[in-house]
Structure 1
Amino acid sequence: MRSVLLGAMLIATMACGSSARAADPASGKEKAEICAGCHGENGISQTENIPSLAGQQDQFTQWQLVFFRGGARKSELMQPIAEQISNEDVRVLGAYFASLTPPKDTKPDDNPDLSKKGAEAAVGRRCASCHGDAFAGTKAVARLAGQREEYLVKALHDYKSGVRTGGAGAAMTDVAYPLSDEEITALSHYLAHL
């Protein structure tokens, strides 16, 4: 709880300072080189269970880095990296990834019936009320459209089981807990193909 509170205070401090000068996305390109090994060139992941960051909401990326750094979000890979980056790096990386073109699946949907079930699950769980009608996210809420399908499955299972916390963890746990495995699969397929 303490790390979440400290993270919230840090983000509030960063947000207040950001009104005076916005982070320069161009300066983030060099800082993001370390991220490319897992999250891919231009923030588009080619690695299973690793999310794409291109087009992700600036504040969402900042929050996640702070949660990793403070230990509220667990990852053996991300925590040591996040512990080494400054507050300015957090701001610059958020701006950089938000400035990139988000991933888009150019292949035709190989299972439109599954996407239809996923769309129904999204409506039933009111996903658009937080993630936006196009599922592009808003402010500190994640972009889901075009995200890696298997990563979305993993994230929903992590929220459902309580493995993933931090930020909107409580809201997402409430949404994910009642989802069946079939709904998680359908919802992930639908969102990945938007």
Structure 2
Amino acid sequence: MTRLPAALIVIALSLLSGVSSLHAADLEAGKAKAEMCAGCHGENGISEMEYTPSLAGQPDQFIQWQLVFFRSGTRQNANMKPIVDELTNEDIRNLGAYFASLPPMKNDKIDDKPELSRKGAEAAVGRRCASCHTDSYAGTKAVARLAGQREEYLVKALNEFKSGQRSGGAMAAMADVAYPLSEEEIYALAHFLAYLPAK
């Protein structure tokens, strides 16, 4: 498995952000390119596929960074690889802007496990999750939106950070947060975040 040095990834991201300040992203082009994402991530970025995250309302920079990490091989996913291999930097900017422009899923589900959510909220405070993901867990800049995300995907992501399996973007910070979490805390935290209303 070939991984690009961190310095090269930083340069690539700098180039992306530098060019994006010169050329505004094209939302229509992003929407057209996102058609290939809908099979897994759902229409309008709302996933209905197990273990697959919703992208609607994710911060622009977060989407861009993750696509760069997938394209560079820093993040590994067999389903993503053939897609990201075909993406240009312009495609990545357009996709980031498009998904960020979409409203996140309206979370009107009734929490059937309020006690689990309470434990998850305590875990979130204890691990200072809001210090990066914001008080509403809507994410910001290159930090992911967690509120309303698929519960089983959040469990999967936390376990991948805990085990060191997931790399790319905030890996050190997330590994530090996730490593001490017990299995019960991971499930509680994922449940709490999944039932938060979108803001």
TM-score range, shorter chain: over 0.9
CA distance in 2, matches of 1:106, 1:2: 42
Please tell me the root mean square deviation across aligned C-alpha atoms, in Å. Answer: 1.0
Residue 3 of structure 1 and its aligned partner are, at CA, apart by 4.4
1:184 maps onto 2:186 in alignment: yes
Deviations 1:51-83 (A, max 9, x none): 000000100000000000000001111122111
Q: 1:3 to 1:103 in 2, by over 3 A?
A: farther
Q: Is the 8 A contact 1:69 1:79 kept in 2?
A: yes
Aligned to 2:132: 130
CA distance in 2, matches of 1:187, 1:73: 23
Residue 26 of structure 1 and its aligned partner are, at CA, apart by 2.6
Aligned to 2:96: 94
SS, match of residue 123 in structure 2: helix
CA distance in 1, matches of 2:148, 2:106: 5
Residue 8 of structure 1 and its aligned partner are, at CA, apart by 1.8
CA distance in 1, matches of 2:39, 2:27: 19
Residue 17 of structure 1 and its aligned partner are, at CA, apart by 1.6
Q: Counterpart amino acid of 2:154?
A: L
Q: Counterpart amino acid of 1:52?
A: S
Deviations 1:79-106 (A, max 9, x none): 2211110000000000000000111321
Aligned to 1:39: 41
Q: 2:147 aligns with which of 121, 145, 148?
A: 145
How many percent identity over aligned positions?
Answer: 66
Residue 169 of structure 1 and its aligned partner are, at CA, apart by 0.6
Deviation >6 Å, runs of 4+: none
Aligned to 1:157: 159
CA distance in 2, matches of 1:3, 1:83: 18
CA distance in 2, matches of 1:129, 1:3: 28
Q: Is the 8 A contact 2:71 2:84 kept in 1?
A: yes
Residue 107 of structure 1 and its aligned partner are, at CA, apart by 1.6
Task: Identify unmatched segments of 5+ residues in structure 2.
Answer: none
Q: Is the 8 A contact 1:61 1:94 kept in 2?
A: yes
Aligned to 1:52: 54
Task: Identify unmatched segments of 5+ residues in structure 1.
Answer: none
Q: Counterpart amino acid of 1:103?
A: M
